[in-house]
Chain A
């Protein structure tokens, strides 16, 4: 191996930096690496969290693949993610484009659009959502105001899912801010040149804005996908996973198995499989967008 030289200020050894990042190294070992290994090992046992666990091999994984519990939760989680994430990206991009206008009072509008994503992930907002969609709640009053029949949001699987998607869609502010910052970096000269060449606004958006937003779009895509796949609070509080497990996400499955049924072994196996699933989805996102991203650079 080639000996590498370390560029440091005079009198500073090569281990000083290592010492400074020690909290991070210890933290990763204890709070990331350990849980990762522990959940794999425990996933191979029949642990109930109390008695000494017994090694049962891949039995938990076999149960996951043959039973309906895990596969059902995976389907719900993926469906939820694939519905929510594209909608959220589209809405946040549209809002960012509108809010990028230099007009009077735009700061107030930016603030208002951002507020739900600050307050929205709190439990209070989730409880609020519960009230908005109960029978007779605001959502039903609005639909009947427009002469539509009552939906009965909690009753059918489609509308229960829609309720949660709407809650998280309402919180598009954080994705919007990333888009907004990226939009500000696009030089105004590009648009002027396009206008001189007779390019309309809509075409300028597709030809100039969108291609230049490639990187931030990808960042938003990955962040939102990971966040959506972990959804727990909303189904736990609003629908309880129902009706008929139609909003029963993997997060809920892990929680129930661990803390309601005390199947620690199974819960750990699910956690581990879920980690693999999230990693796989992120890798797929990387692979699918690879060509585009390479063209960007």
Chain B
């Protein structure tokens, strides 16, 4: 019973945190009138046809098309990020080389680099190369270990793997790359999972980069189609439709979060990684 005040406090806090999302889901079934008069999140009636209409979007393409676009960005980006971060982290964690300290300092610095500063010159670079309005500006940087946070986290985990493993493998005739692939990578599988999850979530949430780089509606990822729909709604418009689109847009991230939830809450965030 001593714990009761704590439970009450936590429950109240949790209610505040989760209520906006519940309200959003409920509002997708409400009429315009009901949205703006009822505080309670449960709608008067539930009719899933609004999701059917939301799925069609305001463009000639369906939400399915925009999901595919988003995955066409996420999949290569994730593969690139995992491969390049693992190789770079391996170099930092297991080898000694000239200027190592300088490069490691640069890596730390890149974690604090405000992205918005590079947006303008990078846009000009990509458009001069004729690559704006393609997915290359969104995916290619991942091939060059663009997320310093990932490398940093991997270095920490590599250091946790005993060097005896390396020595034993080398005696058995393993070269640098085979050692990495067959011995070290299996030891750090959980970190690779969290890099995948974070790349997924960050790309899902990214708005500024596609906003700048992608100009044709056909190639929009989810975040841009949501903006387009939100902008094109007027007063008489059926508000629940854009709300339903937002709910659909949240589903992939929510699903990934649910699947990897334990990892988030446990120590995997040790490298300073966060939503």
Contact = CB atoms under 8 A, between A and B. Distances in A.
B6 A101 contact: yes
B90 A20 contact: yes
Contacts, number: 276
B114 interface: yes
Interface in B76-110: 84, 87-88, 90-92, 94-100, 103, 106-107, 110
A229 B114 contact: yes
A132 B274 contact: no
Interface residues of B, number: 92
A38 B124 contact: yes
A204 interface: no
A28 B120 contact: no
A61 B39 CA distance: 50
B120 A118 contact: no
Contacts of A25: 103
B270 to A, nearest CB: 6
Contact of A34 (B13, B27, B121): B121
Given A9-B167, A16-B95, A254-B119, A127 B226 contact: yes
A173 B269 CA distance: 12
Contact of B95 (A8, A34, A95, A138): A8
Interface in B1-41: 3, 6-7, 9-10, 13-14, 17-18, 20-21, 23-24, 27, 35-39
B123 interface: yes
Nearest to A269: B120
A29 to B, nearest CB: 9
A217 interface: no
Interface string B195-234: 0000001001101100010000000001100110010000
Nearest to B16: A170
Contacts of A219: 272
Given A258-B123, A271-B119, A9 B170 contact: yes
Contacts of A19: 91
B265 A39 contact: no
Nearest to A175: B274
B144 interface: yes
Interface string B138-159: 0001011110000100000000
- 9 tightest A-B contacts by CB? A27-B144, A17-B95, A174-B274, A20-B91, A136-B36, A17-B97, A124-B246, A35-B121, A35-B118
28 contacts: A6-B96, A23-B87, A23-B144, A24-B107, A27-B144, A35-B118, A39-B121, A42-B124, A49-B124, A98-B9, A118-B257, A122-B253, A123-B207, A123-B222, A124-B246, A124-B250, A129-B20, A136-B35, A171-B275, A177-B269, A178-B274, A219-B272, A223-B274, A226-B114, A258-B119, A271-B117, A274-B117, A278-B114
